[in-house]
Amino acid sequence: MKQQIVIFGNGEIAELADFYFTHDSEFEVAGFTVDEAFLTATTFRGRPVVPFETVAQQFPAEHYRMFIAVSYSRLNEIRAAKVAAAREAGYQLASYVSSRATIFPGLTIKENCFILEDNTIQPFAEIGANVTLWSGNHIGHHSVIEDDVFLASHVVVSGGVRIGRASFVGVNVTLRDHVSVGQKCVLGAGALILEDQPDFSVVAPRGTERSSVPSSRLRRI
């Protein structure tokens, strides 16, 4: 019999979490919970939604685990706060690791991690608690991803890198080997990180400029 879980959230990430847990895990989603102030419907994806303030009445912690399906809002603070609240209420936090992710013996999966398909986590890498690795990332050997971090897709973390707590790493970011990124940093899409970044750094590359020539004047396409 599968372990029953309750998902905190009723947005797109909660919908994805429900799909992944349902189709590719040893867990079964029994229902959803949100803060009462954000309760707009009593069902979501065909399952009950209950206020977090009273979730233990319907889904007691001794029989259900919880997963916090929240994005990187406010530099991951909201997700971290909800993990702490669920822990305080007595819940064990579930994690999801895709069967299509590549991992090796010795990796410890901590609470409330969400590791999607096509992630490669090399030997001797360490992943903290409440870490989201969206699809298609490379986590190099001996690298450390601290707690509450969110990596978007196709990030290359070279060997021996450290990414500090509650940081956000955008799509297609590349980190050179042995660089250290501080806490609560934001590395924007496409950034190339070649040196250490202190706490609260923002690295935001400019997007490709739009040509002043309209596509209707291009003759070779």
Q: What is the pLDDT of residues 18-38, one digit of tens each?
A: 999 999 999 999 999 999 999
Residue 19: its pLDDT value, please? 98
If we measure between CA atoms, which residue out of 23, 25, 11 comes closest to residue 68?
A: 11
**Domain with 45 in it:** 3-88
The answer to whether position 210 is within a domain reads no
The answer to whether position 68 is within a domain reads yes
Is there a single domain that holds both residue 101 and residue 135?
yes
- Which of 65, 88, 111 terminates a domain? The answer is 88
Q: How many residues make up the chain in this entry?
A: 221
Give the domain CATH number at 126.
2.160.10.10
Is there a single domain that holds both residue 77 and residue 114?
no
The answer to whether position 219 is within a domain reads no
What is the tens place of the pLDDT at every residue in 88-131? 999 999 999 999 999 999 999 999 999 999 999 999 999 999 99
Is there a single domain that holds both residue 132 and residue 193?
yes
pTM: 0.95
- Positive or negative, the CA dihedral 146, 147, 150, 154 is positive
- Which of 66, 88, 110 terminates a domain? The answer is 88
11-50 exposure pattern, b = at least 16 Cβ within 10 A, e = fewer: eebbbbbbebbeeebebebbbbbbeeeebeeeebeeeebb
Query: Per the structure, how many domains does the chain have?
Result: 2
The answer to whether position 218 is within a domain reads no
Residue located via tokens 């309750």: 6
d(CA 62, CA 110): 19
The answer to whether position 167 is within a domain reads yes
What is the tens place of the pLDDT at every residue in 181-213? 999 999 999 999 999 999 999 999 998 999 999
